[in-house]
Structure formats: structure tokens, C-alpha cells
Structure 1
């Protein structure tokens, strides 16, 4: 899928050359003041077992999979660095000094679809084409350039943008600062599970007197939002946050009592959200059709019942998360008046006992649960059930448990997906 951008190529080339000269002048001026420390990276030191975040020299923003997309042809942009999975990349060696570059979030590969200046960088499944092959050309001061094998173009921050969402595209290699990238290692192999003892310190407090309605994005700046409800398990408690379909809640600490946590009315994203003491549930997911929900980063403590409750249809992905002292980490509703087939993907999470169950699903409705990178702490007896299977109902009665464990159909994992410490 070509996403070319129409520009005055001659004018752009002149602007780039001028900017290179300006950049060189800036380096000389900086050297006169004092050395600037950067993470050294070069084409010769790529580690195919490591996970990287790529930061542009000009904009100081990271290469980012826009909108947490998983679809073919989704655009790659720049965004303020956050080190989340959407900004994490791995190199796959294809020989002769070239690599494919795989997104940790989607599992798909960077691609420049054609050889035109201005063709937008996208992701696609592995297709064996040289459009997905890149070599690294060294620049000065520990930066590299990504040169495409098919087009011989460099990955370029289009028109020297400094904005979040700025386009990345292929352009003639001019070694401009907007074509130079710093390779920052953030982990090896699969993303490292979050440590079970890490917890953010609030930057301030917001007093909550009633449910906060969220449409679009609410970034809390790591402030604590407190408080609502009584800390009990009553089903009638109000949520702290009610998210409209498509909304994002990020960088928030929810204090205790937390009422019924967060409600999503449709597809939503919870990014770096922390529950200091879960009340009824940390978050409940509803909606219609086939929505996708994402929980990325964050943590929850003291959920005497459930952490995540899935009442509507669709797929919930939970990743880079930690929880301690809980009953069930994820539950597909066992007795909702309207039932659905549901799916959950749980990856790169750290769960600390006490805790009874990682996921409970309804096999009679065709639910699936996929697990990878699960770290379980303080469970020497292997007591925590990874996947508990039920026959759910719509009558309001308690569902019937019908089994536990991996089965290749509904509960999808192997022993290599689990780590105990």
C-alpha cells in the first residue's frame, strides 16, 4: 500500500542540505560548551536478541506504530518516547548486512512499499520482499540511518516535523539529522516483565466527587484520582472513569476507595493506569459488534474478586502489567443476561500471589485465552490456575466449572509461556 506524499522535491533537497550544515554548526557549538552523552549505536553492534526503541536525532521522538494498530498497511509515525510495546522493535537478520525490523506490538515488519521519495513507512506481514529489508549506515555521534534494500532510500522524518504523529517516509539518503536514529536497548528477547515491587509515586492529587466522563484522551500526568465508593464488592458502585467508545485513559493512579474502577462503553485503551486498591473490579469492558480493548502498562493491588471483567463481546489484550493479591485476574462474564464469544490475550504480565486464577473463560460460548510471558511470584506449589474453564449462562445463575489447563482450543499456552519465581 503506497502512501506517497506530494512535495516539491527540489525544494526539499535544498532544505535538507541547509539543515545538514546547520546541524554541523550546532555540533561544533555544542563541542565548545561540553560533550553531550548519548547511547552509542552502530551498524556493527546490532543485537538480534535485544529489543530497541528508535529515537530520531532531529525531533527527539520515537518511531511509533500509530494508534496501536495491528492491521496490514498501518502507518509508522514519530511520537513522544514512552518505551511501550508500540515503540519497541526487534531486528531479524536476513543476511548480507540487511535486517527485517519487527514490531513487538503487532509482530509485523517495517516496509517501504515503493522507491519514490515521500512514500510513507508502513507495517506488513513478512512477505520476503526486499521492501522489508534495511541496512544500517553509520552516522556520527552514535546515530545510524536505515537504508532500504529495494529503494536505497533512508527512513526520514517528513519535512523535518517535530510533532507527535509526524510522518516517516522514504527519501534520498542525505544523512540529515531527520534521517538519523539512536538505537536504545530496552530489553532482550520478549519484553521484560514489569518488576513486582515497582509502583509509581503520584505527582499530585485530583479529588473525585462523581464519575469522570472521558471522550478522546485523558492524560492524568501520573496524578492520583481519589476517591469514590466504599471499597466493598457491591455491584451498584459507580466507576471513577466512564470511557466512551474509542477513548483513552493514560498515566493515571486510582486511589482507594476506587468504586467500580473504570468502565469502557466500547473499544478503549488503558495505558499506564494503576489501581492502588481495587474496589469491586479494576475495569469492566462492554460494547457491541467486535470491539478491541487494550490495557498496556500499569498495575493493580488488592482485588478480592476480579481485576478485569469482560461483559461485552470482542478481544481484550492485557500486556506489560502487574497485579498482586487478587482473586481472578481476568474473567469473561459467566452469567450476564446477554452472552457473547470473547477473547483475551494476556502477555508480559507479572502476577504475585495471593491469587487464585489468571483467566476464567466460558468454553460453551467459544471463548479463547492466549498467554505468553506470564511471570508468577510466590507460588512454589504452582497453586495459581492459569486458565479455568466454565459453562456460562444468561440466567444469572453461578456458572459451572468444567475444567482447567491448556487444551489447544480455548486455553492456549505451554510451559514455556510461564515463569515462576
Structure 2
């Protein structure tokens, strides 16, 4: 029986009247997209379909906008791994590890049968997802835009079967198991120098060098540094604590910067304007700050290593939902600091990180509306966890090392 016919049969059977009973049964509408669940920790996952046991996969490992999303036997490829990050208010981005793009409701189609594809992350509601427990170790994935659920088409168990969206009906084809990539087995995947989720920190080995005399602007799209060492000159600053130094990179308008080593003169690191992503970045010697959020926008940071900074590793000067995963940060004043004396809201989620030798604290703010959370991480000599007037600052599954 096809999935469409099965759904029709379910609807017909639930509408049969029974005169001896004083009610008419109503089908379970499933999760309410207006009351999101917050049950998944940030991290890199393999998403297994409950019906088929196969993994959500970007077809052919394509990195192009519009590439289709299918199910396939899991073989450890990074295009079968998904970075799940909280956006606040209970919603998540779900982004394929190999491309940094996003699981997307194709062409803003709100109808049953709409395709799920990958597209450059633009933070629209068609790229925001409610993840809700179905009570059996699996989860539904509901589009914030359409209220429909990610499923395998027609209950298929075949490799290559399409993944689309349909009105929630609760069957196993609409249920997904989230397994951390580090625990999923399979191979280590292909990739472009990035971390596959099995280790923390950046993985680049130096592959040549670039002298930087003016800030490199990355505006939209992806800039792949090829694991070269980018050495700022004194034109950007001296890497000390003086204010007003220039960044080595300016990432803006949702762009992605990846596979970069910043040399010993870190200048003012990386600046974000209007959101963006960095992936597989190493700071050899942090300058004034490793990175600064300069204007409002969602920021994703993954697979990074930074050492030897006198003050802050991250400076936050504007509203943001900041998601950090797979990081190693050592010998700083603070891991993160919201601009002093400000009251705007930031929401920080950190997972799978090693943070050590912080002189003051992990998180610091003066804003009573901001939140921070760190999970599945290790701390050593890290000072206070939460310093200042946080609305909420919490941790779970934290160990020492």
C-alpha cells in the first residue's frame, strides 16, 4: 500500500461514528510548530530514519545549492552528517557537515510533497526546524515555515529514496534517530580539511602561506583558505592589546570561511557582520581578540583551535544566536565576553569543546536578558563558568581533563 493510500485509510478509519459513544475520535495533529521542543543538544549527528534505518544524505555529496536530500546506507561520509544548532526559542538549524549549507524547504513550498534540499544558509523560516521527541528514542523534524514534517517518500526503505515534507501523521517514516557522528561508526568521510566530529579543534596542517596587508572580505558564498597560513602585516596591527586593530578576515552576509590558519600576528582576528560561519580555523597566537561579532546576525563556529590570548577569545558587540562546536581554546582571559555595559540579548550554545586556563571566566556579560549554555565539554582551570548578570547560564555533562 502506498503512503498516500495509507494516510487516506487512517483518516477514514478515525472518522467512523460509533452511536454508543459520546465522542468522535480526532486524529493526533502531532507536534505544534508554535510550541517548539528543545530536546537536542548542539552537535554533529547522523540522522537515521526510523522506518528504513538509512541515513539522511545529500545526494552525491554535492556542495551545490539545490542538491537533493535522500536516504542512503550510512558509510561515514561527511555529507551524511548534520550540524544541529539551536537558534533560540526552541528552533534549530540543520546543516550538512561537508558544505555548511542548510536543510531547506525547497522553493518555499508549503504543500505536501515539498522537496527537502540543501541551500546556502540564509536563516529563513524554511531553514528552521522544530525537533520533538516521539517517545521512542526518535524525533520528528517539523518545518517552522510550513508546519510539515520531514519524511521518506512513500515509506520507502530503498537507498536513494527521496526525502520530502508532508503533513504530520506520526508514522515511522516521519521519525528520525539523532546519533552523534562520533558514535555512528562507518568511515571518516571525505571532506575538505574539516573535522568529521570524531575529534575537537581545527585539523589543518600548514599548506603554504599568504601575506595579508589588508582585511580579506568574505561576503556571501564560501571562502576556502586551503589550510594556508595567513600572516597579517603591521598594516593590520601588531597583535597586541591596542584597540582599533583591523581584522584578518571580515565575514559578512551569511558567508562561510573555512580551512584557515591565522599566523602569529593575529591582529584583530575575524569580524562578523550580518551573520556567518567559520569552520576549521586555527589561531596560532590570538591577538586582541580571536573573533568579534560586530553587527546583528546568527553565527556558527565549529572545529576551531585558539591559544595564547591575553583578554577575550570571543567579543560579542551585537545581538546574535551564537553556536559553537568542536573547539579547543587555551590560555585566555575569558572564553566569551559580551560588550561591557550593554543590555542587548545574545544566546550562546557551546558543545563538545575543551576550554582551559581562563584567567577569569568562561562566559561574561552585563546583560540580564542574555543566555549561555555549555554541554558535553571538558574544562580545566577555567575560572568561573558564568560571570555577570545572565538571564540563564547553565551547563550539562561537563568533565575535567
The two structures have a TM-score, normalised by structure 2, of 0.58
What SS class does the counterpart of residue 82 from structure 2 fall into?
A: helix
In structure 1, the partner of 2:303 is 297
Aligned to 2:335: 329
Evaluate the alpha carbon distance shift between residue 215 and residue 61 of structure 1 in structure 2; reply closer, same or farther with a 3 A threshold.
closer
Is residue 418 of structure 1 aligned with residue 384 of structure 2?
no
Structure 1 runs of 4+ off > 6 angstroms? 55-58, 102-106, 113-118, 129-133
CA-CA distance at 1:419 after TM superposition = 0.7
In the alignment, is the contact (CA less than 8 A) between 1:61 and 1:81 conserved in 2? no
Residues 302 and 325, structure 2, Cα contact 8 Å, conserved in 1: yes
Please report how far the alpha carbon of residue 353 of structure 1 lies from its aligned counterpart in structure 2 after TM superposition. 2.1
Matched, 1:346 2:341: no
1:417 Cα deviation from its structure 2 partner: 2.8
- Are the equivalent residues in 2 in contact too, given 1:302–1:325 (CA < 8 A)? yes
**Cα distance change, pair 61–218 in 1 and its aligned pair in 2 (3 A):** closer
Instruction: Report the equivalent of 1:310.
Output: 316
Q: 1:208 to 1:375 in 2, by over 3 A?
A: same
Q: Contact 2:204 / 2:280 at 8 angstroms: preserved in 1?
A: no
The equivalent of 1:86 in structure 2 is 82
In the alignment, what sits opposite 1:207?
A: 211
1:202 Cα deviation from its structure 2 partner: 1.1
Q: Does 1:376 align with 2:376?
A: no
Give the corresponding residue for 1:187. 182
Alpha-carbon shift at residue 260 of structure 1 (Å): 0.4
Q: Which runs of 5+ in 1 are unaligned?
A: 1-49, 68-74, 89-101, 134-147, 159-166, 171-183, 391-406
Alpha carbons of 1:247 and 1:192: their partners in 2 closer, same or farther (altered >3 Å)? closer
Q: Which has the larger radius of gyration?
A: 1
Does the aligned pair in 1 maintain the 2:304–2:326 contact within 8 Å? yes
Offset at 1:278? 0.5
What is the alpha-carbon root mean square deviation over aligned residues? 4.8
State how 1:166-181 maps to structure 2 within 5 Å. 168-169=163-164
2:311 aligned counterpart, secondary structure: strand
| Cα displacement string for residues 12-46 of structure 1 (whole angstroms, at most 9, x for unaligned residues) | xxxxxxxxxxxxxxxxxxxxxxxxxxxxxxxxxxx
What SS does the corresponding residue of 2:210 show, helix, strand or coil?
strand
Match of 2:60 in 1: 59
Distance 1:331 1:84, change over 3 A: farther
Query: Alignment length, in residue pairs?
Result: 287
Cα distance in 2 between the residues matched to 1:347 and 1:300:
16
Q: Deviation string for 1:282-320 (max 9, x for gaps)? A: 1100224xx211111111111110000000112211111
Alignment of 1:359-370 (within 5 A): 359-364=363-368, 366-370=369-373
Question: Is the 1:345–1:371 contact (alpha carbons within 8 Å) kept by the matching residues of 2?
Answer: yes
2:241 to 233, 242, 246: 233
Indicate which of 144, 154, 165 corresponds to 1:151.
154
CA distance in 2, matches of 1:244, 1:275: 20
SS where residue 59 of structure 1 aligns?
helix
Residue of structure 2 aligned with 1:257, choices 262, 265, 269: 265
- CA contact under 8 A between 2:200 and 2:352: conserved in structure 1? no
Structure 1 residue 81: Cα displacement: 4.8
TM-score by length of 1: 0.55
SS in 2 for 1:233: coil
Change (3 A) 1:82 1:210: farther
Residue number in structure 2 paired with 1:286: 294
Cα distance in structure 1, aligned partners of 2:347 and 2:268: 22
User: Which residue is 2:226 aligned to?
Assistant: 221
In 1, the alpha carbon distance for the partners of 2:358 and 2:80 equals 27
User: 1:283 touches 1:309 (CA, 8 Å); kept in 2?
Assistant: yes
